[in-house]
């Protein structure tokens, strides 16, 4: 009797202490300093007064507001729509970012169709308000919310508040109470929803709704318990203690929970284990009556241990499934990100995105890429990984596609916009920039679950970011080309204004002298002035021809007039048009004893030789040797123009073929070159599929050599 009184007293003392601790916890909770906004009008009024202060305060507040990160919790409750709308207005009022978080618990599989539809509607509402949708997995919802808020630098949390109170002192704290305890440094904005919910939905012991087991699961449970009973009977015959037999039944409960879905079979297995142990393995046998006075306690402990074991096993299995889904999502996004980094064109990005969506949903994917501000023809990517092809016109739902393109929102099957469409259409976009529309077939209007939607939106986000990076790279490249063209244009104008001034001034001065002092000049002076005017005009003509030739070759407007020509004839024609000062140099020609026949545009090759010989004449001293040679090399002819002048420094050789680069050789006259001659030569030789190079001559000087294709006609024929 004393033992019973002692046990009862200890129990009452424990319960009274627990009651006092809970009441103290409630008192502290009610007196915590937290910003609680019952209506969004209060938040807007606070924001208005803060911004209204003006001056430096306005600037400081704007800086602080721009850093606000608001987190709203998503659920399937009827009041969640109002909470999400208020959070969106708060994000707009505080000029901050909005994140919508949904914590998927093991009880998600037990949600009815109405709750799932309401949850999907709340997610879509959050997306329309500009929120980033985040889905996490776990059983402890407050801990998941607090941990995400801490890791993501959330400054404000918006949740709903039920109007109910705890019914018993041992009741579990509400979500609001737990969240305030776990995140004491964050502002929690509580939106009342007591009008919608008259009673607070309590969390069940099993966390999910019990589901009826299948016939296979029942047979498996019976088989495991039968095997456990047989093993227990063998242990009993071998004289093992009852604790060993109980462990066998616990193992059976654990195996049942591991190989069946839900908690039903595990609970049933725990109950039947006690019955079977009592019926077959305790005295008297084949009876539910137990002789021993301690057996009821043994049965109770065995049932509780089996029940907890089965529950924990089911929870671990559910969490393992959620972890596997998270791992699958991570791998899918990682693979896509790694592939997108290698993509060089928009078509590759679209193809990779379609491949990843096919892995997720196992369906044909239809993509309408955006080109130059409009949608192009749709491309269908089959689910069997065969080659993509253009979508037939009869397969298009153009009204839905145009609506998605213009409104940047989802439409089609499973949505309120164009619900009779065959596909669900989603926009590929970043912010206000849209890059295309994706169509996904929906079988029997089946709505994808939250996990599938979360991964799908992540894939489309990765696709949009990759396309945005390609667009930025393309714009950067175009800007670089434009800057280079502007630099070339500036160099051209600067060179023309500087280098044309001397010959034009000379022509104008000499003409003025002849005009006003013609009779006073002797015949030799007049001839010298006429010669200078001719040379300056010839130089200007050569410059204009080079400019026109380079322009035509660069834009592809020059069509080569190919014909079979003898190298000796081309060299002879070029020597008749070179600079008159060539008489001061020793020019020799060596084209070999056998005539060489090449297939070229004779006029352009003559211009190449003229430029090379004139350069040699211009940049070498009088009396220098200039040699033109031609030799056959396999299917080509190599023509060389060499001189024994001072040569070109090694650091300038890589730039001699650049446009507007004239070098720094002091031997040239006052009419400095614009640096177009060698550029023109390189363009002409490349147009003939040849190469032009610069080498040093021994012991000094330069050798410009270029190759031209041999003619297919045999000269002997």
φ, ψ at 348 (rounded to 5°): -65, -40
CATH code of the domain made up of 560-709: 3.30.565.10
What is the signed CA dihedral for 630, 632, 636, 637, rounded to 10 degrees? 10
Query: 175 with 283: CB under 8 angstroms?
Result: no
Tens digits of per-residue pLDDT, 516-573? Answer: 888 888 888 888 888 888 878 877 777 677 667 666 666 666 677 888 999 999 998 8
Tens-place pLDDT, residues 193-232 = 654 444 444 444 444 445 577 888 889 888 988 998 899 8
Q: Give yes or no on whether 32-192 and 560-709 have one common fold.
A: no
CB count within 10 Å of CB 302 equals 24
Tokens of 567: 């190298």
Question: Each residue of 416-428: pLDDT tens digit?
Answer: 788 888 888 888 8
List the beta strands (DSSP E) in 239-364: none
Please tell me the number of Cα atoms within 13 Å of 541 on its side-chain side: 9
What does the pLDDT read at residue 668?
A: 42
Average pLDDT along the chain = 76
- Any residues with CB less than 8 A from the CB of 325 and at least 6 apart, and which? 137, 451
Please tell me the distance from the alpha carbon of residue 466 to that of residue 461, in angstroms, as a whole number. Answer: 9
How does residue 637 score in pLDDT terms, banded at 50, 70 and 90?
A: very high
pLDDT digits (tens, 9 = 90+) for 142-200: 888 888 888 788 888 988 765 445 555 455 677 777 888 888 888 888 877 654 444 44
- Model confidence at 633: pLDDT above 60: yes
CATH classification (class only), 32-192: alpha beta
> CA 287 → CA 269, 281, 284, distances in Å?
19, 10, 6
Q: Is the dihedral of CA 361, 132, 406, 344 positive or negative?
A: negative
Mean pLDDT highest for which of 263-277, 470-484, 665-679? 470-484
Beta-bridged to residue 640, according to DSSP, are 629, 705
- SS3 (DSSP) at 263: coil
Q: Reply yes or no on whether the pLDDT at 705 is more than 90.
A: yes
* 94-103, 245-254, 365-374: least confident range: 245-254
Q: Read off the tokens for 570.
A: 């081309």
With a cut of 60, say whether residue 9 has pLDDT above it: no
Lowest mean pLDDT among 23-32, 84-93, 382-391: 23-32
Report the percent of the chain where pLDDT is more than 90.
5
What percent of the chain stands above pLDDT 70?
A: 73
Read off the pTM.
Answer: 0.51
Instruction: Work out the number of other CB atoms within 10 angstroms of the CB of residue 358.
Output: 18
Q: Among the CATH numbers 3.40.50.2000, 2.10.60.10, 3.30.450.40, 3.40.50.300, which is that of 345-467?
A: 3.30.450.40
**The two three-digit tokens of residue 294, written as one number:** 């301690």
Domain boundaries defined on the chain:
1-30, 32-192, 215-320, 345-467, 502-535+537-554, 560-709
What angle in degrees, to the nearest 10, is found between the helix axes of 264-281 and 242-259? 150
Which of 181-185, 349-353, 390-394, 420-424 is the least confident region? 390-394
Q: In what order do the strands lie in the sheet with 97-104?
A: 132-137, 97-104, 69-73, 156-161, 187-192
Phi-psi region of 561 (alpha: psi -120 to 50; beta: other; left: phi over 0): beta
């Amino acid at each position: 009797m004393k033992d019973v009184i002692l046990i009862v007293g200890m129990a009452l003392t424990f319960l009274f202490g627990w009651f006092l601790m809970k009441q103290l916890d409630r008192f502290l909770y009610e007196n915590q300093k937290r910003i609680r906004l019952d209506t969004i009008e209060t938040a807007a009024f606070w924001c208005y007064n803060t911004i209204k202060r003006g001056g430096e305060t306005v600037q400081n507040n704007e800086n602080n507001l721009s850093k606000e990160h608001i987190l709203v919790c998503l659920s399937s409750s009827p009041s969640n729509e109002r909470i999400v709308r208020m959070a969106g207005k708060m994000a707009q009022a505080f000029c901050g970012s909005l994140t919508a978080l949904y914590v998927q618990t093991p009880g998600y599989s037990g949600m009815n169709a109405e709750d799932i539809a309401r949850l999907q509607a709340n997610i879509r509402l959050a997306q329309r308000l500009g929120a980033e949708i985040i889905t996490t997995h776990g059983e402890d919802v407050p801990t998941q919310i607090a941990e995400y808020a801490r890791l993501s630098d959330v400054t404000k949390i918006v949740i709903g508040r039920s109007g109910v109170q705890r019914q018993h002192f041992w009741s579990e704290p509400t979500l609001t109470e737990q969240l305030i305890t776990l995140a004491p440094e964050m502002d929690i904005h509580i939106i009342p929803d007591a009008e919608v919910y008259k009673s607070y939905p309590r969390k069940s012991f099993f966390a999910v709704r019990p589901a009826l087991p299948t016939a296979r699961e029942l047979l498996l449970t019976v088989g495991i318990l039968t095997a456990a009973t047989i093993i227990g009977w063998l242990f009993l015959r071998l004289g093992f203690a009852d604790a060993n037999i109980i462990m066998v039944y616990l193992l059976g409960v654990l195996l049942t929970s591991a190989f069946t879905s839900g908690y039903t079979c595990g609970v049933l297995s725990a109950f039947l284990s006690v019955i079977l142990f009592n019926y077959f393995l305790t005295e008297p046998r084949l009876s539910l009556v137990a002789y021993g006075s301690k057996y009821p306690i043994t049965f109770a402990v065995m049932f509780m241990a089996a029940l907890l074991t089965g529950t924990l096993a089911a929870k671990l299995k559910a969490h393992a499934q959620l972890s596997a889904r998270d791992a699958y999502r991570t791998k899918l996004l990682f693979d896509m990100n790694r592939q997108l980094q290698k993509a060089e064109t928009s078509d590759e990005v679209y193809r990779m995105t379609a491949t990843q969506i096919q892995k997720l949903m196992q369906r044909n994917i239809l993509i309408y890429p955006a080109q130059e501000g409009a949608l192009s023809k749709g491309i269908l990517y089959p689910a069997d990984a065969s080659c993509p092809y253009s979508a037939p016109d009869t397969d298009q739902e153009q009204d839905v596609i145009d609506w998605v393109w213009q409104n940047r929102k989802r439409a089609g099957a499973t949505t309120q916009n164009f619900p009779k469409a065959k596909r669900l259409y989603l926009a590929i976009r970043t912010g206000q920039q849209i890059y295309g529309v994706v169509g996904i077939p929906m079988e029997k209007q089946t709505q994808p679950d939250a996990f599938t939607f979360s991964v799908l939106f992540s894939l489309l986000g990765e696709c949009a970011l990759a396309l945005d990076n390609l667009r930025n790279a393309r714009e950067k490249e175009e800007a670089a080309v434009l800057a280079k063209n502007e630099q070339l244009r500036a160099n051209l104008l600067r060179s023309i204004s500087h280098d044309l001034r001397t010959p034009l001034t000379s022509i104008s001065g000499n003409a003025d002298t002849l005009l006003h002092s013609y009779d006073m000049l002797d015949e030799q002076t007049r001839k010298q002035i006429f010669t200078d005017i001719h040379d300056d005009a010839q130089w200007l003509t050569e410059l204009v021809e080079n400019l026109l030739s380079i322009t035509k070759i660069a834009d592809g407007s020059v069509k080569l007039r190919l014909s079979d020509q003898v190298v000796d004839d081309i060299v002879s024609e070029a020597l008749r048009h070179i600079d008159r000062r060539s008489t001061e140099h020793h020019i020799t020609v060596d084209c070999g004893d056998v005539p060489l026949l090449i297939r070229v545009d004779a006029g352009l090759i003559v211009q190449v030789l003229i430029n090379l010989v004139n350069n040699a004449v211009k940049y070498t001293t009088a009396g220098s040797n200039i040699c033109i040679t031609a030799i056959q090399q396999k299917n080509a002819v190599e023509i060389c123009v060499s001189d024994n002048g001072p040569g070109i420094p090694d650091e300038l050789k890589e730039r001699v073929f650049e446009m507007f680069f004239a070098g720094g050789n002091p031997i040239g006259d006052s009419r400095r070159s614009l640096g177009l001659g060698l550029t023109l030569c390189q363009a002409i030789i490349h147009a003939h599929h040849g190469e032009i190079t610069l080498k040093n001559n021994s012991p000094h000087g330069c050798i410009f050599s270029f190759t031209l294709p041999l003619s297919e006609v045999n000269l002997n024929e």
